[in-house]
Amino acid sequence: MSYATSVFVYTQRQIVILQSGFSPRIYMPQYSKPLTLNKGVDNSIQFQFLNQEQKPIDITGLAITCNIISYDGSKILLSKTLTLKLPANGIASLDIATADIQDIDAQKAYYSLIFPSGNLNFPVFVDQNAGARGDMNIVNSVYPYFVPSNTVTIPTGQPFPNLDNSNISDIIQLQNANTYYTSVISTNENPVLTIQATYEQYNGDVTIEGSCQVDADWYPITTTTYSNVTDTFGYVVEGYHPYVRVAFTSNNGAVTNVLSR
């Protein structure tokens, strides 16, 4: 018995609106559907520019910029000028080559469009609330992608429990159960985070904490107690915790390395 699976080849197209002209009508799409960029291949996403009367805007000769913005709004991941496809009908495309997003991690993001008119630059709206940002997902869907581990550190000002095997005097003996916190790990909306820590003669607690803010309101996720361990342990954190850190509460021993992925 054989089976057939239907596959589709199509171009993503999003209608966007300019508040242009003198019509008293107000037209806005109810919402903007999330757009998707697939890592490992080329991508083409079309936009059609309409006015308040739902008529195409002639975009001939215009340099319209699309910005892809990180989900926390802190930086522009990529900025490209749209390619005019059918400018008289208001259709242009965001053409992304494989190399353009090779170094951008898979993540949730936003996109925005800047429309030039004379000496001015106007926003382009994607929903009924005059929202100028739409949702975009950058995904690893075509090829598998190796995610390297990141080294987790202790922020400046906190002496990290450390061990240099070449000099035994460098072993920091923690007295009176001091607590040391790692740097903050951003999960980028991923539901699974793995952490690895290496210990040398460690005594004390290891608490993985989560928060919805980068610097406040921390809550415990898991706590593990060790007694004079010399080993490497891994931890799996499941659930949507935007920010994670590790607290080491110990009166003896060393933590020589912490990695996250």
Mean pLDDT of 209-220: 91
In the numeric block, which tokens belong to residue 145?
A: 């992608």
Q: Are residues 36 and 115 in the same domain?
A: yes
Q: What is the pLDDT of residue 173?
A: 43
Asked which of 136-140, 204-208, 253-257 is least confident by mean pLDDT, the reply is: 253-257
Q: Are residues 126 and 167 in the same domain?
A: no
Mean pLDDT of the chain: 84
Flag whether 195 is in a domain.
Answer: yes
Q: Is the pLDDT of residue 206 over 50?
A: yes
Flag whether 159 is in a domain.
Answer: yes
Band of residue 23 on the pLDDT scale cut at 50, 70, 90 = low
Q: Are residues 56 and 85 in the same domain?
A: yes
Contact between residue 137 and residue 34 where contact means Cβ atoms under 8 Å apart: yes
Flag whether 5 is in a domain.
Answer: no
Which of 116, 139, 162 finishes a domain? 139
Q: Are residues 37 and 123 in the same domain?
A: yes
pLDDT digits (tens, 9 = 90+) for 103-128: 898 899 999 999 998 889 998 888 77
Q: What is the pLDDT of residue 180?
A: 85
Which of 95, 119, 139 finishes a domain? 139
Most confidently modeled range among 8-17, 85-94, 236-245: 85-94
Which of 111, 139, 167 finishes a domain? 139
Flag whether 74 is in a domain.
Answer: yes
Mean pLDDT of 27-54: 86
Flag whether 1 is in a domain.
Answer: no
Mean pLDDT of 27-38: 79
Band of residue 240 on the pLDDT scale cut at 50, 70, 90 = confident
Q: What is the pLDDT of residue 192?
A: 84
Mean pLDDT of 257-261: 88
Q: Are residues 127 and 154 in the same domain?
A: no
Q: Are residues 51 and 133 in the same domain?
A: yes
Q: Are residues 177 and 119 in the same domain?
A: no
Flag whether 3 is in a domain.
Answer: no
Q: What range does the domain containing 111 cover?
A: 12-139
pLDDT digits (tens, 9 = 90+) for 55-100: 899 999 999 999 999 998 899 999 999 999 999 999 999 999 999 9
CATH number, domain of 25, equals 2.60.40.10
Q: In this predicted model, which residue has the larger pLDDT, 161 or 75?
A: 75
Q: Are residues 55 and 96 in the same domain?
A: yes
Q: What is the pLDDT of residue 170?
A: 36
Flag whether 45 is in a domain.
Answer: yes
Q: Are residues 159 and 86 in the same domain?
A: no
Contact between residue 194 and residue 185 where contact means Cβ atoms under 8 Å apart: no
Q: Are residues 96 and 122 in the same domain?
A: yes
Q: Are residues 61 and 124 in the same domain?
A: yes
| Percent residues over pLDDT 70 in the chain | 85
Q: Are residues 157 and 101 in the same domain?
A: no
The total of structural domains in the chain comes to 2
Asked which of 27-31, 61-65, 164-168, 251-255 is least confident by mean pLDDT, the reply is: 164-168
Flag whether 106 is in a domain.
Answer: yes
Smallest CA-to-CA distance from 180 within 248, 259, 250 is with 248
